[in-house]
Amino acid sequence: MLPYNESHNRKGVLWLLTINNLVKQRGNHEILSGISFKARPGRVTGFLGPNGAGKSSTLRILLGLDRATSGSALIDGKPFAELQNPLSTVGAALDGFGAHRMRTGRAHLRWIARAAGLPRSRVEEVLEIVGLTDAAGKRVGTYSLGMGRRLGMAAALLGDPEILILDEPVNGLDPEGIRWIRTFLRERAASGKTVLLSSHLMGELAETVDDVVIINRGKVVANGTLEEVIGSHSTLEEAFFALTTEHAGAVV
Amino acid sequence: MRAFNAELSKLFSLPGIWLAFLIGACAPAIIAALDSMAEKDDILAGVSTRLSEVGLIGLGAGVQGIIILGVLAVSSEYLTESSESGGGNQITTSLTAVSSRLQFLLAKAGAVAVISILLFVVAIVTTMSATKLILGEYAPVFEASKLVGVGCYWTFTALLAFGMTVLTKNGIIPLAVLIINSSVVTISYLLTKVTKLAFYLPDRAGMDMFMSDGYHTPITGGFIMFAWVTVLFIVAAIVFHRRDVAS
């Protein structure tokens, strides 16, 4: 059993992510075959799986970027397209910078702030939070992978959202950046917000996540708290390999 | 309104758009100046039959800047890079900032239309200055109705470029087709020699809004071009609404 009462967080609002029996077909290929899980407020949920397992597809459907063949992916009980203020509800940093290379980092964040009706001062705040203030005047095309990830995080944080969805957030970050993101995500969860992050890296995640969902070839192979998923294995990494290679497809 | 502001902010912070502004604001004046010089003798002698069109032709040619505007507004969203430099793909950010795709598309089309009208006003000023400089007191005074015609032609052309690029996701095809058609060889003009139906193509019909002795009246020409814009926008909106961003 989960220690958290999933129905409501402290404000009495349901900031829950609910993925229910999600199926996605592209051509003849089934990318997702009935994915179901939840990400709860006040917890960091790690969505793990090898490359090509369907993690990004699931997150893209959740964010309304791709369409599900069947099933549902709901944010606070609604599909993404029905959210009134998307940026203050859910902040997302997907694979890639999501920015045009010829614009400066600051100009990129400014147009997003306009779309959400946020003041320019908020742009400077998030630049400060992610440590990108000094590079904000440079064109995105000159950014390193790590700087681009920070820019993506800054964009996700603009609306100070209740929910964060991050696709491979530690990819391309240096050890300092990884440490920063771990601390940051723990703080977000501690303040009652919902954090869902995907990764194919186990070591970086074991210290950050509360709940774990492991998917392999479009199917959930494990779902529970970190302790439950590790079970009799020595580490999360051990559990992951046991679940995704030897007994691929078996549900825990 | 927020989405519209965001789209304006995006366009003004994109360096490529300044090329569109430069062409839109300067090309009409340059062409009008050259045309004025060529016609100057006839005009001074009072035998020119084209006096009223001097300048309008230049303004007609300024649509190339507008085509770049309409195309870039969309293609910049889909620009992708190698994975080392982050992949680009601004569209994912755009669509997570505005939840309704139709709203996003309308905001972008609105921003393109507003900028093309503003640019047109600038072009009128530069073109009138150019003809005045060369022809002095003989410079033609533009009829208001024709100016409205060219203004509509600019805006509709920008929206056609916009709609085409939503469908292709890539700027190269719409740019090539529209720029070639409006400069090097006017394919639609050649087609009018083959079939009368070609007069119903958007650029042909649209030009009747401001050129004398057109096939259609200015009003009919405008309606035909507007119908093309509307149909293209509806098709683009349906395709865009259904499309996976990843595909």
What chain A holds in terms of domains, given with CATH numbers, is 37-216 (3.40.50.300)
Q: Which of residues 184-213 of A touch B (CB under 8 A)?
A: none
**A247–chain B nearest CA distance, Å:** 30
Q: Which of residues 148-187 of A touch B (CB under 8 A)?
A: 148, 155
A95 contacts chain B (CB < 8 A): yes
Contact list in A for residue B6 (CB cut-off 8 A) is: 111-112, 114-115
Q: Is the pLDDT assigned to residue A61 strictly greater than 50?
A: yes
Average model confidence (pLDDT) across chain B: 88
ipTM of model: 0.87
pLDDT at position A7: 42
Interface mutation vs chain A, best among B96, B238, B242, most A CBs within 10 Å: B96
For the segment B90-103, the average pLDDT, to the nearest whole number, is: 93
pLDDT at position B247: 58
Interface mutation vs chain B, best among A90, A97, A111, A142, most B CBs within 10 Å: A111
B145 contacts chain A (CB < 8 A): no
B83 contacts chain A (CB < 8 A): yes
- The domain limits of chain B are 2-242
Strand ranges of the sheet holding A163-167, from the earlier edge strand across to the other edge = A90-93, A163-167, A194-199, A44-48, A211-216, A219-225
Put simply, the answer to whether B6 touches A115 (Cβ < 8 Å) is yes
Put simply, the answer to whether B99 touches A82 (Cβ < 8 Å) is yes
Q: Is the pLDDT assigned to residue B36 strictly greater than 80?
A: yes
Nearest to B169 by CA among B98, B246, B115, B64: B246
pLDDT at position B120: 93
Reported as a single tens digit per residue, the pLDDT across A141-163 is 999 888 998 999 999 999 999 99
A110 contacts chain B (CB < 8 A): yes
Reported as a single tens digit per residue, the pLDDT across A3-23 is 444 444 444 556 689 999 999
Tokens of B62: 């300024």
A79 contacts chain B (CB < 8 A): no
Q: Is the pLDDT assigned to residue B31 strictly greater than 80?
A: yes
pLDDT at position A232: 87
Reported as a single tens digit per residue, the pLDDT across B155-196 is 999 999 999 999 999 999 999 999 888 776 678 888 888 888
Alpha carbons A167 and B95: distance in angstroms, whole number: 16
Interface mutation vs chain A, best among B93, B95, B102, most A CBs within 10 Å: B93
B6 contacts chain A (CB < 8 A): yes
Reported as a single tens digit per residue, the pLDDT across A205-236 is 788 899 999 999 999 999 999 999 988 888 88
Length of chain A: 252
Alpha carbons A225 and A220: distance in angstroms, whole number: 14
Top pLDDT among A95 and A120 is at: A120
pLDDT at position A246: 57
Q: Is the pLDDT assigned to residue A86 strictly greater than 60?
A: yes
pLDDT at position A248: 46
Query: Concatenated DSSP letters for A231-251?
Result: TTSSSHHHHHHIIIIITTT--
pLDDT at position A146: 87
Chain A residue with Cα closest to B245: A65
**Strands A90-93 and A163-167, sheet pairing:** parallel
Q: What percent of chain B has pLDDT over 70?
A: 94
Closest Cβ–Cβ partner in A26, A65, A111 for B10: A111
Reported as a single tens digit per residue, the pLDDT across A88-99 is 999 999 888 899
pLDDT at position B86: 59
pLDDT at position B87: 61
For the segment A65-89, the average pLDDT, to the nearest whole number, is: 93
Contact list in B for residue A84 (CB cut-off 8 A) is: 99
Residues B163-176 as b or e (16 or more Cβ within 10 Å = b): bbbbbbbebeebbe
Banded pLDDT at A166 (limits 50, 70, 90): very high
pLDDT at position B1: 86
Banded pLDDT at B85 (limits 50, 70, 90): low
Q: What is residue B3's three-state secondary structure?
A: helix
Contact list in B for residue A109 (CB cut-off 8 A) is: none
Chain B residue with Cα closest to A110: B9
Q: What is residue A144's three-state secondary structure?
A: coil
Reported as a single tens digit per residue, the pLDDT across B40-69 is 888 777 777 776 677 777 887 788 899 999
Of A243-252, B62-71, B205-214, give the range with the top mean pLDDT.
Answer: B62-71
Contact list in B for residue A90 (CB cut-off 8 A) is: 96
Interface mutation vs chain B, best among A100, A122, A143, A163, most B CBs within 10 Å: A100
